[in-house]
């Protein structure tokens, strides 16, 4: 069953055609990675899915419902959630308060307390709970934001470069975290440059180039594709 | 007992400074002193104190919208003026019998809130934010001031209430409480003092509960990162609008109380100076905390009045210097800085003795 379906999605910024007739279908339960060189239109595609940008034409279907004109918060209510590229935590508030804000619309009282505790241990941030989120390390901020996004128990989790700025060890741990979430039934769409991470988690990979779907398949098929190597991997290894 | 503990718990939280028996003990002492104060003072001085208290509501409105919500409104005086004039127009037309002045108070605050719904809707749903919000709100208050200033002619009246241009509106009745025998008229002395003090305590505690609730959590989340807040499923614009309207109602309450205190209201109450002063009180006190705002406003107002009374012609210049110094030395507010320092000192003391 397809969970997310993008149909002929277009987005222009002035004369710049950032998203060019993109068709993309995500099956429920898969981990799908979106790769492509800088400027390929990956982040714009995320913003279209989230309702931060509105497409010039085309449709976005989520679980069979057309959500193209829905406001962002309403899409979140439908079961979407996101972790941004730049860590989007509430910097001036404590780690605990960050999680409380994420969880409070679903839980109250003692249940809220225990959910916060559970999430803190899932993220390995128990000893940092009283700290101001702005003082966390970059990797910890990324995890905190993933935790906030996950706390909504979304059907589809969007991750924009979840391992950016992380050490190889942190990257691997993040991959395991994503796999655990997926095992619990969460569908994941991730933008990622780190090929080790993509190899670790991706069931399917889509390559975007100049706003268009350039190639699609398993990571081995993508790596073996010479055209992809020419536009992306070739540059990456140069 | 458990009910009392639960109530105190709702009054405390990460959004407000001050917690525990020590804080509430001090609060009770300050309140007791405030309640006893008229017994040891004369009516004129008490009336002057009411004047200080009246401004605290508009300061709290700015604390809510700007300090907690992160939206700088430069035009809280617009709601102040609308409610002040609203009270004047209603009571001059309908008098003070049958407790109508109390109805007029509520109605005038409601009119200000309604205006905020309209203005706020177009601003927040039109995605106006940051410095532009300040510019729009300032433009609105200055426009209202200009408009009211040119209503001197006899053709400018609503019912029997003349708007009176730059001289402003006066002769509206003071607040009058219907009472068996003879109604109680709250002139600007002891009677009005207790009413305003009661309102102040009520608003302060209510705002503490509001800010430490899940609603308050969302408000500070929007200040910190509106995009993240929206992506957690919160309708950011709706929350911003509700905060703006509550703030406008508080500014309106200030306006009505000011009008009943002096029995006059003029266009200059919506002018540039009037709009800028609350910003200074709140910034100096500490805009992101209710208690700091209350203390800061009262201290700065008292200092400002002392300066203007005792000969200095430069009170406004002093206010400007104070704002610059605050921004340079303690950007989060001088009073808040001192309170946090005291908190750390107390924590260290408890650690050592414990």
Sorted by where each begins, the domain ranges of chain B are 2-353
Distance CA A76, CA A130 (A): 27
Q: How far apart are CA A24 and CA A101, in angstroms?
A: 33
Asked if A71 and A163 sit in the same domain, the reply is yes
The CATH number for A192's domain is 3.40.50.300
- pLDDT at position A85 is 84
For A73, the closest of B14, B220, B234 (CB atoms) is: B234
User: Is residue A1 pLDDT above 90, yes or no?
Assistant: no
Pair type for strands B175-177 and B184-186: antiparallel
ipTM: 0.91
Q: How far is CA B153 from CA B149, B162, B167, B263, in A?
A: 10, 9, 11, 21
Q: Whole-angstrom Cα distance, residue B15 to residue B289?
A: 7
pLDDT: which is higher, A165 or B154? B154
Q: Is residue A70 domain-shared with residue A113, that is, in the same domain? A: no
The CA distance from B102 to B187, in Å, is 14
DSSP result, A7-63: EEEEEEETTEEEEEEEEEEEETT-EEEEE-STTSSHHHHHHHHHTSS--SEEEEEET
Range of the domain at A165: 2-89+136-237
Determine, for residues B228 and A84 on separate chains, whether the beta-carbon distance falls below 8 Å: yes
Mean pLDDT, residues B117-127 taken together: 96
**pLDDT of B137:** 97
Q: Which of A128-142, B212-226, B251-265 has the lowest mean pLDDT?
A: A128-142
- For strand A187-191 and strand A31-35, is the pairing parallel, antiparallel, or unpaired? parallel
Tell me which residue has tokens 């719904």.
Answer: B117
Kindly tell me the burial class for residue B29, based on how many C-beta atoms sit within 10 Å of its own C-beta (0-12, 13-18, 19 or more): exposed
Q: How far apart are CA B49 and CA B255, in angstroms?
A: 16
Is B38's pLDDT higher than 90? yes
- The mean pLDDT value for A60-77 works out to 95
For residue B4, pLDDT over 80 is answered with: no
Mean pLDDT of A90-115: 94
Backbone angles phi, psi at B135, to 5 degrees: -65, -45
Give the 3-state secondary structure of residue A69.
Answer: coil
Widest Cα–Cα separation across chain B: 73
Q: Which of residues 28-57 of A touch B (CB under 8 A)?
A: 50, 52
**Nearest CA to A87 among A141, A150, A133?**
A141
Predicted local distance difference test score (pLDDT) of residue B344: 85
Burial class (CB in 10 A: 0-12, 13-18, 19+), B248: buried
| pLDDT value of position A238 | 35
Altogether, the residues listed in chain B come to a count of 354
Does the structure show a pLDDT above 50 at A212? yes
Q: Which residues of A44-75 are buried (b: 16+ CB within 10 A; e: fewer)?
A: bbbbbbbbbbebeebebbbeeeebbebebbeb
Q: Are residues A40 and A141 in the same domain?
A: yes
Looking at the fold, whether A214 and A104 belong to one and the same domain comes out as no
The candidate with the shortest Cα–Cα distance to A102, out of B230, B164, B81, B189, is B230
Residue A84 with chain B: CB contacts under 8 Å: 227-228, 231
Average pLDDT over residues B295-315: 86
What does DSSP say about strands B264-265 and A2-13: parallel, antiparallel, or unpaired?
Answer: unpaired
Strands A2-13 and A57-62 come out as: antiparallel
pLDDT band of residue A235 (cuts 50, 70, 90) is low
**Residue A187 and residue A120 in one domain:** no
pLDDT (0 to 100) of residue A201: 95
- Whether residue A155 sits in one domain with residue A218: yes
CA B257 to CA B193: how far, in whole Å? Answer: 11
Q: A111 and A151, same structural domain?
A: no
Give the integer Cα–Cα distance in Å for B311 and B309: 6
> How much is the average pLDDT of A63-77?
95
The answer to whether A120 and A166 have CB atoms below 8 angstroms apart is no
- Predicted confidence (pLDDT) at residue A83 exceeds the cutoff of 80: yes
Q: How far apart are CA A85 and CA A83, in angstroms?
A: 7
Mean pLDDT of chain B: 93
Over residues B130-134, the mean pLDDT reads 93
Would you say A7 and A61 are in contact if contact means Cβ atoms under 8 Å apart? yes
| Cβ within 8 Å, pair A50-B231 | yes
pLDDT (0 to 100) of residue B307: 87
3-state secondary structure B183-211: CEEECCCHHHHHHHHHHHHHHHHHHHHHH
Burial of B25 (0-12, 13-18, 19+ CB in 10 A): exposed
| Nearest chain A CA: its distance from B222 CA (Å) | 9
A101 shares its domain with A218: no
Report residue B354's pLDDT band, with 50, 70 and 90 as the boundaries. low
Task: Indicate if the alpha-carbon torsion angle A54, A55, A56, A61 is positive or negative.
Answer: negative
DSSP structure class, residue A154 = -
pLDDT value at position A116?
95
**Residues on chain B touching A102 (C-beta within 8 angstroms):** 232
- A105 contact residues in B (CB cutoff 8 A): 214, 232-234
Residues A6 and A101 both lie in one domain = no
Smallest CA–CA distance from B219 into chain A, residue: A101
Mean pLDDT along residues A197-226: 92
The β-bridge partners of A132 are A94
Q: Is the pLDDT of residue A107 over 70?
A: yes
- Poorest-pLDDT segment among A31-40, B112-121, B193-202: A31-40
User: Is the model's pLDDT at A88 over the cut of 90?
Assistant: no
Higher pLDDT, B115 or B354: B115
Average pLDDT for residues B181-194, to the nearest whole number? 90
**CA atoms of B89 and B178, how far apart (whole Å):** 20
Overall number of domains in chain A: 2
Is pLDDT above 70 for B77? yes
**Residue A185 pairs with which residues in a beta bridge?**
none
Task: Evaluate if residue B342 carries a pLDDT over 60.
Answer: yes
Q: How far apart are the first and last CA of chain B?
A: 27
Assess whether A146 and A37 both reside in one domain.
Answer: yes
- What band does B158 get if pLDDT is binned at 50, 70 and 90? very high
B2 vs B242, which has greater pLDDT? B242
- B316 or B60, which is more confident: B60
Q: How many residues does chain A have?
A: 238
Contact criterion met (CB below 8 Å) for A176 and A25: no
Q: Please answer yes or no on whether B225 and A91 come within 8 Å at the CB atom.
A: yes
> Which residue(s) pair with A6 in the sheet?
A24, A60
Token pair belonging to B67: 């300090």
Q: A99 and A43, same structural domain?
A: no
Query: What is the second-level CATH architecture of the domain B2-353?
Result: Orthogonal Bundle (1.10)
Q: What is the rounded average pLDDT of the residues B3-22?
A: 85
How far apart CA B255 and CA B290 sit, in angstroms, is 20
DSSP B323: H
Q: Sorting pLDDT into bands at 50, 70 and 90, what band is B201?
A: very high
The first and second tokens of residue B54, run together, are 């009246």
**Could you tell me where the beta strands, DSSP code E, fall in A76-167?**
80-83, 156-160
A44 shares its domain with A122: no
- Compare all CA atoms of chain A with the CA of B238 and give the residue at the minimum distance: A73
State the average pLDDT over residues B168-174.
Answer: 94
A-interface mutation test, from B214, B232, B287, most A Cβ less than 10 A away: B232
Asked if A13 contacts A54 with a C-beta cutoff of 8 angstroms, the reply is no
């Amino acid at each position: 069953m397809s969970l997310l379906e993008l149909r002929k999605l277009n987005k222009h910024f002035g004369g710049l055609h950032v998203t060019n007739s993109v068709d993309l279908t995500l099956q429920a339960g898969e981990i799908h990675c979106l790769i492509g060189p800088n400027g390929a239109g990956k982040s714009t595609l995320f913003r279209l899915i989230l309702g931060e940008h509105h497409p010039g034409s085309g449709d976005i279907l989520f679980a069979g419902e057309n959500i193209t004109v829905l406001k962002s918060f309403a899409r979140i209510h439908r079961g979407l959630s996101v972790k941004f590229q730049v860590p989007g935590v509430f910097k001036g508030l404590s780690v605990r308060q960050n999680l409380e804000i994420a969880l409070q619309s679903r839980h109250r009282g003692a249940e809220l307390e225990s959910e916060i505790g559970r999430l803190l241990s899932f993220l390995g941030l128990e000893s940092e709970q009283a700290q101001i989120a702005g003082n966390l390390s970059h990797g910890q901020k990324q995890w905190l934001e993933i935790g906030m996004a996950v706390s909504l128990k979304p059907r589809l989790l969007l991750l924009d470069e979840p391992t950016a700025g992380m050490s190889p060890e942190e990257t691997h741990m993040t991959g395991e975290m994503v796999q655990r979430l997926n095992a619990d039934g969460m569908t994941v769409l991730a933008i990622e440059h780190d090929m080790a991470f993509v190899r670790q988690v991706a069931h399917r990979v889509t390559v975007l180039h100049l706003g268009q779907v350039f190639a699609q398949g398993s990571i081995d098929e993508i790596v073996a594709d010479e055209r992809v190597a020419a536009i992306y991997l070739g540059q990456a290894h140069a | 007992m458990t009910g009392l503990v639960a109530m105190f718990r709702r009054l405390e939280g990460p959004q407000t400074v001050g917690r525990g028996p020590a804080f509430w003990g001090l609060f009770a002492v300050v309140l007791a002193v405030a309640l006893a104060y008229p017994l040891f003072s004369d009516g004129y001085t008490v009336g002057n104190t009411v004047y200080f208290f009246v401004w605290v509501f508009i300061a709290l409105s700015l604390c809510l919208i700007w300090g907690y919500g992160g939206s700088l409104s430069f035009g809280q005086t617009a709601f102040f003026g609308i409610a002040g004039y609203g009270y004047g127009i209603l009571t001059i037309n309908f008098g003070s019998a049958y407790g109508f002045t109390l109805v007029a108070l509520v109605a005038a605050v409601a009119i200000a809130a309604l205006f905020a719904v309209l203005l706020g809707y177009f601003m927040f749903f039109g995605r106006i934010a940051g410095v532009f919000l300040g510019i729009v709100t300032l433009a609105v208050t200055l426009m209202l001031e200009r408009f009211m200033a040119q209503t001197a002619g006899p053709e400018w009246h609503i019912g029997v209430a003349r708007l009176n241009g730059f001289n402003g509106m006066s002769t509206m009745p003071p607040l009058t409480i219907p009472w068996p025998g003879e109604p109680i008229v709250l002139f600007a002395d002891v009677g009005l003092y207790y009413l305003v003090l009661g309102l102040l305590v009520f608003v302060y505690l209510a705002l503490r509960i509001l800010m430490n609730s899940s609603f308050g959590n969302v408000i500070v989340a929007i200040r910190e990162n509106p995009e993240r807040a929206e992506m957690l499923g919160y309708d950011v614009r709706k929350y911003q609008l509700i905060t703006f309207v509550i703030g406008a109602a508080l500014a309106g309450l200030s306006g009505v109380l000011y009008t009943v205190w002096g029995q006059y209201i003029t266009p200059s109450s919506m002018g540039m100076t009037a709009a800028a002063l609350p910003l200074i009180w709140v910034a100096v006190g500490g805009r992101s905390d209710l208690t700091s705002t209350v203390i800061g406003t009262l201290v700065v107002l008292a200092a400002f009045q002392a300066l203007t009374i005792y000969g200095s012609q430069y009170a406004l210049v002093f206010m400007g210097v104070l704002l610059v110094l605050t921004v340079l030395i303690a950007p989060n507010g001088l009073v808040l800085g001192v309170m946090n320092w005291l908190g750390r000192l107390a924590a260290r003391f408890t650690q050592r003795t414990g």
